[in-house]
């Protein structure tokens, strides 16, 4: 039976939902129960919740004929930023479920889960 999403093999590096210096990806190595993993779970939940609220706001802006170009550009920029966060969360969770990551390693979001050899 597969482990739940918050369970990781002991030698797994989890892609964290925030970037490090110079926008590089951050990882934590462990089984998914440590302090950093718990904080990452909270940040992921916050990012997903904010994305959901932003989608509602964007729907309202697009439906409003009085929305200005500047307002629409601002919401488009916010959606782009949020989509990067959601994409990173989806990759991290997918990798923890064993879904292979063929994502481009040189992309600013970086690679996902890395299995370390013992």
Q: What is the pLDDT of residues 47-63, one digit of tens each?
A: 999 999 999 999 999 99
Angle between helices 35-63 and 69-96 (to 10 degrees): 150
Instruction: Give 77 or 23, the one with higher predicted confidence.
Output: 77
The CA distance from 89 to 83, in Å, is 10
**Residue extents of the structural domains in the chain:** 12-115
- The model carries a pTM of 0.73
The CA distance from 22 to 32, in Å, is 25
Q: For the chain, give the percent of residues with pLDDT over 70.
A: 75
- Are 91 and 112 within 8 A, CB to CB? yes
């Amino acid at each position: 039976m597969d482990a739940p999403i918050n369970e990781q093999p002991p030698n797994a590096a989890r892609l964290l939902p925030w970037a490090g210096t110079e926008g590089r990806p951050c990882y934590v190595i462990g089984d998914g129960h440590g302090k950093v993993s718990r904080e990452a779970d909270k940040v992921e939940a916050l990012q997903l919740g904010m994305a959901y609220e932003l989608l509602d706001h964007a729907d309202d802006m697009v439906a409003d004929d009085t929305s200005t170009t500047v307002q629409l550009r601002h919401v488009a920029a916010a959606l782009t930023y949020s989509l990067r966060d959601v994409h990173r969360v989806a990759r991290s969770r997918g990798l923890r479920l064993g879904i292979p990551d063929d994502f481009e390693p040189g992309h600013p979001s970086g690679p996902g889960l890395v299995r370390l050899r013992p």
